[in-house]
Structure 1
Amino acid sequence: MSLRDRKKERTRQLLSDTAIAMFLAEGFDQVAVADIAAAAEVSKPTLFRYFPAKEDLVLHRIADHQGEHARVVAARDPRETPLRALHRHFREGLEARDPVTGLCDLPAVLAFHRLVFGTPSLAARVVEYGTTDAALLADALGGPAPRLVAAQVIAVVQVLALDNASALSAGRTADEVFPEAAEAADNAFDLLSHGAAGRGY
C-alpha cells in the first residue's frame, strides 16, 4: 500500500473504532454522525466519504466476510463437493472461535454482537449482507438450482451463528458450547446434503 492508502485506511479504522465505542457506550440511535466526526476530529463530509451510511461504521468490521462462501467454493479441491467444503469451512471457524460463527466469547465480540443484533437497522443490514452472499454463492455453485441451494446454505449458517451467539449471551463459554455447536453444524449440513425427508421430517 502507498503512504496515502495507509493514511486513508488508518482514518477509516479510526472512524469505525470511534463510532463503535460511542455506540456501545450510549446506544446506536443516541449517537449522531456529527458527534462521531467531532470525536474523530474530521468533518462530517469527510466521514461520509469513508462511510456512506451510519450503519457502515459498524458493519465495516464484517465487510471482509462478504462473499466468503463463494470464495470457499471457488478455492476448494475439485474432488471436494461444494457442500463439504462449506461444512469444513464452518467447522474450522468453530474450532478457531471465529466471531462470524457466533462462537467467540471475547467480551468485545459479545458486546459487538449485542450492538448489531439489538439494533434493528444494523440487524436489517446483516440480512442484506446475507442476500448478497447468497447471490455470490449461487454464481460460484453453478449447476442446477444454484439460487435455491445458496439461499439454504446462507440461511443455515446464519441460524447456526445466531444460536451460538444466543448460548454465549446466556452466560456459557465458547468451550462449553462448542460440542453442541459442532453437532448442530454437522446435522445442518447433513440436512442440506440429504434432505429433510431422510431425517424423518
Structure 2
Amino acid sequence: MSEEPGLRERKKTETRRRLWKVAAELFLERGFDKVSVAEIAAAADVSKMTVFNYCGTKEDLVLGPMREHVDDVARAVRERAPGESVVAAVRRQFLAAVDAFDASVGMNDHSYVLRVRRLVAETPSLLARAQELVYLGTQRLAQVLAEEAAPGEEPLARVVAAQLMGVRSALLTHNHQRLLAGERAADIAADAKALAERAFGTVEFGLGDYGTK
C-alpha cells in the first residue's frame, strides 16, 4: 500500500530540513567554499544525488528556507480581501511577519539565524543566489498583478512589483543590520513597523488605490 500524499510530503520536508541543518553546521564551522556536497551527503547519511534532488544547488542548502518564502508577497496580493489595495496587502503581510519575528523579514535574532545571515553576506555565491530569489519573488508578484491588469497595463504591473519588492528588501536589510549589530528583535520591532508604515506609505502616495479589488 502506497503512502498517503500528505505523509510523503512531510517526509520529504523533514529530509530537506535535515539536509539544511547538517549543511549549515558544516558551512558555519568551516566556511561555505571549503565544504563539498559529497561531505554533506556523507554527514547526512544520504547519497550526493539525494542532496541535489532535494536542494537543487549547493547554495540552496543554505537558502532553502528563503526559497520557501518566495511566494509570500504574491500570495498576499492574490488572496487580498475585497476593497484592499495591492500596497495595503503587501504592507499587511510584512507587518504580520514583523509581529511574528519572522526571519523572512529580518526579525529573527536567534544566534544560529544570525550566523547564517553573516555567512550569506560574506559569501559571494550565496549573496548572488539570495538576490536571484528576491528577483524570483518580484517576478511572481508581477505575474499576479499582470493577470489583474487592464489590457496594455502589464508593463505597469512589473514597475509596481519592482517598487514594492524594493521597499520590502530595503526594510529587511535594515532589520538584519540592526540585529547583526547586536540589537534584539523585541527591541526594534516597534521601529521596524513604524519604518515599514512610512516606506510603504511613500509607494502608496504615488499609486493611490492601485489594484484595489
TM-score (structure 2 length as normaliser): 0.85
Q: 1:50 aligns with which of 50, 54, 67?
A: 54
1:121 has 2:125 as partner: yes
Alignment of 1:47-196 (within 5 A): 47-142=51-146, 143=149, 144=153, 145-195=156-206
Change (3 A) 1:86 1:37: same
Change (3 A) 1:81 1:111: same
Q: Could you tell me which residue of structure 1 aligns to residue 211 of structure 2?
A: none
Change (3 A) 1:70 1:6: closer
Per-residue CA distance 1:52-86 (angstroms, 9 max, x = gap): 21011111112221111110001110111110111
CA-atom RMSD in angstroms: 1.8
Rounded Cα–Cα distance in structure 2 between residues aligned with 1:23 and 1:153:
33
Structure 1: any 5+ residue segments left out of the alignment? 197-201
Rounded Cα–Cα distance in structure 2 between residues aligned with 1:8 and 1:177:
36
Rounded Cα–Cα distance in structure 2 between residues aligned with 1:108 and 1:191:
34
The percentage of counterpart residues that share the same residue type is: 41
Aligned structure 1 segments of 4 or more residues deviating by more than 6 angstroms:
none
Q: Could you tell me which residue of structure 2 aligns to residue 199 of structure 1?
A: none
Change (3 A) 1:5 1:165: closer
Alignment of 1:10-49 (within 5 A): 10-49=14-53
Rounded Cα–Cα distance in structure 2 between residues aligned with 1:158 and 1:6:
30
CA drift at 1:47: 1.9
Secondary structure at the counterpart of residue 73 of structure 1:
helix
Per-residue CA distance 1:105-157 (angstroms, 9 max, x = gap): 12122122112222111111111111111111112123330000001111111
CA drift at 1:20: 0.8
Partner letter of residue 54 of structure 1? K
Partner letter of residue 140 of structure 1? V
Partner letter of residue 42 of structure 1? V
Rounded Cα–Cα distance in structure 2 between residues aligned with 1:93 and 1:126:
19
Secondary structure at the counterpart of residue 65 of structure 1:
coil
CA drift at 1:4: 4.8
Structure 2: any 5+ residue segments left out of the alignment? 208-213
TM-score (structure 1 length as normaliser): 0.90
Q: Could you tell me which residue of structure 1 aligns to residue 210 of structure 2?
A: none
Per-residue CA distance 1:29-56 (angstroms, 9 max, x = gap): 1111111111112222232222221011
Rounded Cα–Cα distance in structure 1 between residues aligned with 2:16 and 2:182:
33
